[in-house]
Structure 1
Amino acid sequence: MFTALLHLCFPHVCESCGNTLTHTEAFLCHQCTVQLPRTGFQHFTENPVEKLFYGRLQVQHALAAYYFSQASMLRKLVHKIKYRHKRKLTFYMGKQMGMILAQTSWINQITCIVPVPITKKREKFRGYNQSALLSAGIAAVINKPVLSHALKRVVFTASQTRKSRILRWQNVQHAFHLENPELLKDEHVLLIDDVITTGATTEACGKLFQQANIPFSICSLAYARH
């Protein structure tokens, strides 16, 4: 009753369409939730995200929860997550990722979660690292520890938006450092990113685990099809 009255006095709106949410809805209305562009990658191996890294990374498993495109609902949500200080929305979308990951046949292999890091300057501007908040949401569902400081961003790079695949790779070469790899020697890391386009950023991080002989898998909120 109190929750219903609270929503009546201070209505919450859908982060996608802007319609008023009912007291049983959170962040997205039922209609927008149904229309989320789910990939279904959790149900099969050799999905497009896994194939993206063939010959590039020795990744154990890989998936993305949703498709990303200029016309996609995910574009608006990702923009809010990265630039509108939507901490609670980010955590909520992480929980959705966690529920998708829980459907995989390999989730029990995962022992820890590591978010792709951003620079301190970018984190200060946004107020948080979106991949770390997504990781926290995932952890709330699959009950695995988040090691937010396992990877460190050591080089500030320009935005990857609108860069070609080659320029994206050049932009992130040597941008990351793996802190204390010996502490991860018995782990199976789940590497978390927000959007995978060419996979350059994810690859740069994954190579550090690969060089340290640490098994890892990849999960992103969204995958931008080419």
Structure 2
Amino acid sequence: MGLIRSVTDLLLPRYCKVCGRRLDTGEQHLCISCFLGMPRLEYLPEELSLAERILLTERNVVRAASMLKYEKESDYSKIIYHLKYYNHPSVGSWLAEIGARELRDKGFLDGVEMIIPLPLSSVKQRRRGYNQSAYIAEGISRVIEIPVADCIVTREVSNQKQAGLGRFQRWNNAEGLFSVAQPESLAGRHLLVVDDVMTTGATLCSLIQTMEKASPDIRISVFTLAIVE
């Protein structure tokens, strides 16, 4: 396998998603220097995480965590651009696996029965070719061996692009986006909701509230790959 990888790297060189340096055999998506320098956020069960503070008003949310701090001007923002826009969704599943192992060891994923990626509208998914949140969910699923349920909740409309909107505009823009196709599948379950980046939490809260209305007795944990401070 090592020889095959070496030959492949020679013929089809791979490059770091952050700094652009050519990757060595054994490196995945990021060079070792950029990997070690990632703006990581540590989840501490005894402290309120940034994600939990944003989602504090959501009564069914039992815990929330994000893996990376997102800063638009940082070179590390390129990870999200590669994930969402440059047809490299595998970077999301790779990072999610790493994050899931750490969160599993801290008990964050205890009791989770189903993983729900934040859905895209059918129009946006056709245009992009994939849902980046589903790739993040698949990475977590490989670690905890819990199924990804990507058909239970659907996105009815594609809202205006959130980037560039103010906080209140984002909340107004996120109303009425989702519907639950199979509410009986949620009843009494502990769900892990997954997204790529949390900014104000408006879209996530819209999804959470839609699921709460369909099944008031659910418990929800939230994981995002990155979060804006």
1:137 is matched with which residue? Answer: 139
Whichever residue aligns with residue 205 of structure 1, its letter is: L
2:219 is matched with which residue? Answer: 215
2:86 is matched with which residue? Answer: 84
CA distance, structure 2, for counterparts of residue 42 and residue 180 of structure 1: 34
CA distance change for structure 1 residues 44 and 29 in 2, over 3 Å: closer, same or farther?
farther
CA distance, structure 1, for counterparts of residue 203 and residue 44 of structure 2: 22
Whichever residue aligns with residue 39 of structure 1, its letter is: L
Deviations 1:81-119 (Å, cap 9, x if unpaired)? 111111322322222332232233231211110011111
Q: Structure 1-normalised TM-score?
A: 0.93
CA distance, structure 2, for counterparts of residue 180 and residue 11 of structure 1: 45
CA contact (8 A) 1:42 1:103 kept: no
CA contact (8 A) 2:82 2:89 kept: no
Output aligned runs, 1:11-160, within 5 Å: 11-160=13-162
Deviations 1:53-101 (Å, cap 9, x if unpaired)? 1224431110101100123343111111111111322322222332232
The size of the alignment, in residue pairs, is 225
CA contact (8 A) 1:66 1:223 kept: yes
Alpha carbon RMSD of aligned pairs, Å? 1.5
Give 1:49 shift: 1.0
Moved more, 159-168 or 192-201: 159-168
Whichever residue aligns with residue 196 of structure 1, its letter is: M
Deviations 1:142-161 (Å, cap 9, x if unpaired)? 21100011211012211011
Q: Give structure 2 stretches of 5+ with no counterpart.
A: none
CA distance change for structure 1 residues 87 and 56 in 2, over 3 Å: closer, same or farther?
closer
2:199 is matched with which residue? Answer: 197
Partner of 1:193, secondary structure, is strand
Whichever residue aligns with residue 103 of structure 1, its letter is: D
CA distance, structure 2, for counterparts of residue 73 and residue 62 of structure 1: 25
CA contact (8 A) 2:152 2:185 kept: no
Moved more, 91-100 or 21-30: 91-100
> Runs (4+) of structure 1 moved beyond 6 Å?
none
Q: Give structure 1 stretches of 5+ with no counterpart.
A: none
Q: Which has the higher helix share?
A: 1
Give 1:8 shift: 2.6
CA distance change for structure 1 residues 137 and 42 in 2, over 3 Å: closer, same or farther?
farther
